[in-house]
């Protein structure tokens, strides 16, 4: 398995969780740097570029159509990215520091997939405009994991009830989930940033 991803690592305060930044379709590892820095300014950052190309646009896994995922590829890519995170933990001397994903859209969907299939990898996640990545046969034990989900009521790519179903699924698995449906579309709005900052600041990982 090729676990080498294009990425950026920026060191930070060892007492804070490391932010794992996962961009949306067509983005890259630079896309969310500013957002990550405003959400948790002193955190170390690991920002990764998805390896799958859709008409030249980087993604984290293949899809057959909008909202219809190639589940075999999703499974493979989830393992591959999880293994990369394990490797990066060693390479950057992260020790046991908690890693919290901050993913947007396709990046949020792979972060949710990691939570559901490799629950040892992340301590928590901020999922922006996320949907159910796949239907697990059995829910993992996500007790102790903290998840914030910010979704848009007017999102034309991700139906609000699909986001709500993911929030329920994560709760049922035992995660502490803060789910907010906002008067927003698929794009981020100003209040997403303050919501994320407040959520991060109010949590110990
Ligand atoms: C996905 O493919 O993960 C979702 O449809 C979101 C997107 O990237 O457009």
Query: Which residue, 175, 191, 170, is CA-closest to 143?
Result: 175
Contact between 102 and 125 under an 8 Å Cβ cutoff? The reply is yes
Residue 1 has pLDDT above 60, yes or no: no
Residue 2 has pLDDT above 80, yes or no: no
Q: Per residue in 122-174, pLDDT tens?
A: 999 999 999 999 999 999 999 999 999 999 999 999 999 999 999 999 999 99
Phi, psi of 57 (to 5 degrees): -95, 120
- Closest-CA residue, ligand 1 atom 3, reads 106
155 is catalytic: yes
Helix, strand, coil shares of the chain as percentages rounded to 5? 30, 25, 45
Q: How far is the CA of 195 from the centre of ligand 1 (A)?
A: 22
Q: How far is the CA of 45 from the centre of ligand 1 (A)?
A: 23
47 is catalytic: no
**Ranges of H-type helices in 92-154:** 106-117
Give the residues surrounding ligand 1 with Cβ less than 6 Å away. Answer: 24-25, 63, 66-67, 105-106, 109, 157
E-assigned strands of 60-98? Answer: 63-65, 68-69
| Mean pLDDT computed over 94-108 | 97
Q: Among the atoms of ligand 1, which is closest to the Cα of residue 60? A: 3
Buried b (16+ CB within 10 A) or exposed e, 2-41: eeebeeebbebeeebbbbbbbbbbebebebbbebbbebbe
7 is catalytic: no
3-state class (DSSP) for residue 195:
helix
User: Within a 10 A sphere around the Cβ of 55, how many other Cβ atoms?
Assistant: 6
Contact between 149 and 165 under an 8 Å Cβ cutoff? The reply is no
From residue 168, alpha-carbon distances to 18, 159, 184 in Å are: 26, 15, 21
User: Of 40, 47, 82, 105, which is the active-site residue?
Assistant: 105
User: Of 123, 151, 155, 192, which is the active-site residue?
Assistant: 155
Q: Per residue in 38-78, pLDDT tens?
A: 999 999 999 999 999 999 999 999 999 988 999 999 999 99
Six-digit token pair at 154? 């007017």
């Amino acid at each position: 398995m090729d676990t080498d991803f294009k990425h950026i690592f920026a060191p930070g305060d060892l007492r804070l969780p490391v932010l794992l930044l996962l961009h949306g379709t067509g983005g890259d590892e630079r896309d969310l740097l500013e957002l990550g820095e405003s959400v948790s300014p002193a955190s170390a950052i690991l920002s990764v570029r998805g390896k799958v190309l859709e008409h030249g646009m980087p993604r984290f896994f293949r899809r057959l159509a909008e909202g219809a995922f190639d589940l075999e590829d999703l499974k493979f890519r989830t393992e591959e990215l999880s293994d990369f995170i394990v490797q990066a933990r060693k390479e950057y001397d992260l020790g046991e520091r908690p890693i919290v994903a901050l993913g947007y859209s396709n990046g949020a969907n792979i972060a949710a997939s990691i939570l559901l299939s490799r629950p040892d990898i992340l301590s928590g996640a901020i999922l922006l405009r996320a949907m159910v990545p796949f239907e697990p046969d059995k829910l993992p034990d996500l007790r102790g994991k903290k998840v914030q989900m910010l979704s848009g009521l007017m999102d034309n790519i991700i139906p609000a009830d699909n986001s709500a179903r993911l929030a329920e699924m994560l709760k049922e698995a035992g995660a502490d989930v803060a789910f907010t449906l906002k008067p927003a579309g698929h794009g981020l709005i100003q209040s997403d940033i303050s919501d994320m900052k407040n959520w991060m600041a109010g949590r110990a990982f």
